[in-house]
């Protein structure tokens, strides 16, 4: 028995017999044939850890697991390959916090793209990216031999001002509606107290301040900051 490059080789008649009985559903009776009349089979194990899809013997695999394949060795004997496959997809999910895009995958190489114009953004090779204008953006991630791209993420709140929407009622006794919400779609709404501590966030069209003490608060979405008075 010897091993190299993650492959294990050896003559394993018992392993092959088990495969034929359990996987191929052969019915084998009696002991093995005499060595003088036996065709010496090979049994190889491929232990692979990578990202999907993994192509092995012209077959694409999208899920991890154990896979078996028959082949004839150099002696012309029926032999067995066992593929032990672990697949770990890259995490291409993008989060948008305030005015910054960030992809979940860590410890990789990154290149951000502008989707509509389909070009790589010079110098934007970090896990996070702060766009300077509205548009759709994606990131290409490379880790080892794995390469994948995120979906395009729409940024549409840059350049907005307080005049583009309103919070009402303001002053309020608790519940506030954010309108028009379509300007702020897919962006988190943040609530800070007067000393800058984050108290609350939501992706919805309402904020409820009824559990907080009366006073001054600040609503923030993207680059927009609005003072809120709780009575």
Three-state SS annotation for 125-185: CCCEECCCCCEEEEEEEEECCEEEECCCEEECCCCCCHHHCEEECCCECCEEEEECHHHHC
Domain end call among 58, 87, 116:
87
How much is the pLDDT for 198? 84
**Where residue 3 falls among pLDDT bands split at 50, 70, 90?**
very low
User: What gap in Å lies between CA 109 and CA 121, rounded to an integer?
Assistant: 14
Whether residue 84 is predicted with pLDDT greater than 80 in this model: the reply is yes
Q: Please, what is the average pLDDT of the chain? A: 78
| Pair 116, 40 in one domain | no
What Rg, from alpha-carbon coordinates, does the chain have?
30
How much is the pLDDT for 36? 38
How much is the pLDDT for 115? 93
| Pair 166, 145 in one domain | no
Mean pLDDT (whole number) for 21-37:
52
* Domain boundaries, position 103: 94-155
In Å, how far from its chain's centre is CA 47?
Answer: 23
Residues 12-33 as b/e (b if ≥16 CB within 10 A, e otherwise) read beeebeebbeeeeeeeeeeeee
Rounded percentage of the chain residues whose pLDDT exceeds 90: 24
| Pair 139, 174 in one domain | no
How much is the pLDDT for 8? 36
147-156 pLDDT, tens digit per residue, is 999 999 988 7
Domain end call among 123, 139, 155:
155
Q: Which residue has the higher pLDDT, 126 or 31?
A: 126
Q: Which of 17-21, 33-37, 64-68, 145-149 has the lowest average pLDDT?
A: 33-37
Highest mean pLDDT of the ranges 60-64, 133-137, 150-154: 150-154
Number of independent structural domains in the chain: 3
Highest mean pLDDT of the ranges 17-31, 122-136, 164-178: 122-136
How much is the pLDDT for 37? 43
Please give the model's pTM, rounded to 2 decimal places. 0.51
Q: DSSP assignment, residue 197?
A: -
Is 8:45 a contact under the CB 8 Å cutoff?
yes
DSSP string of 86-105? Answer: EE------EEEETTEEEES-
Go through the chain and tell me how many residues it has.
Answer: 231
Whether residue 182 is predicted with pLDDT greater than 90 in this model: the reply is no
Is 5:13 a contact under the CB 8 Å cutoff?
no
């Amino acid at each position: 028995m010897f091993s190299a490059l993650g492959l294990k080789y050896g003559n394993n008649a018992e392993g092959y017999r088990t495969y034929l009985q359990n996987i191929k559903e052969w019915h084998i009776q009696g002991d093995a044939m005499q060595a003088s009349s036996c065709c010496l089979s090979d049994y190889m194990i491929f232990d692979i850890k990578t990202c999907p899809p993994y192509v092995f013997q012209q077959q694409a695999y999208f899920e991890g697991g154990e896979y078996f394949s028959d082949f004839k060795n150099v002696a012309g004997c029926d032999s067995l390959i066992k593929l032990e496959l672990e697949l770990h997809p890259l995490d291409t999910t993008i989060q948008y916090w305030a005015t910054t895009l960030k992809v979940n995958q860590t410890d990789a190489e990154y290149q951000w793209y502008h989707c509509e114009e389909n070009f790589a953004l010079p110098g934007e090779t970090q896990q996070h990216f702060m766009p300077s204008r509205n548009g759709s953006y994606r990131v290409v991630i490379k880790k080892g031999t794995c390469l994948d791209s995120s979906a395009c993420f729409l940024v549409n709140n840059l350049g907005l001002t307080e005049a583009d929407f309103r919070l009402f009622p303001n002053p309020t006794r608790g519940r506030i509606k954010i309108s028009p919400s379509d300007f702020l779609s897919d962006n988190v709404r943040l609530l800070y107290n007067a000393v800058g501590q984050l108290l609350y966030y939501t992706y919805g069209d309402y904020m409820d301040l009824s559990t907080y003490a009366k006073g001054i608060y600040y609503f923030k979405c993207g680059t927009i900051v609005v003072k809120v008075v709780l009575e």
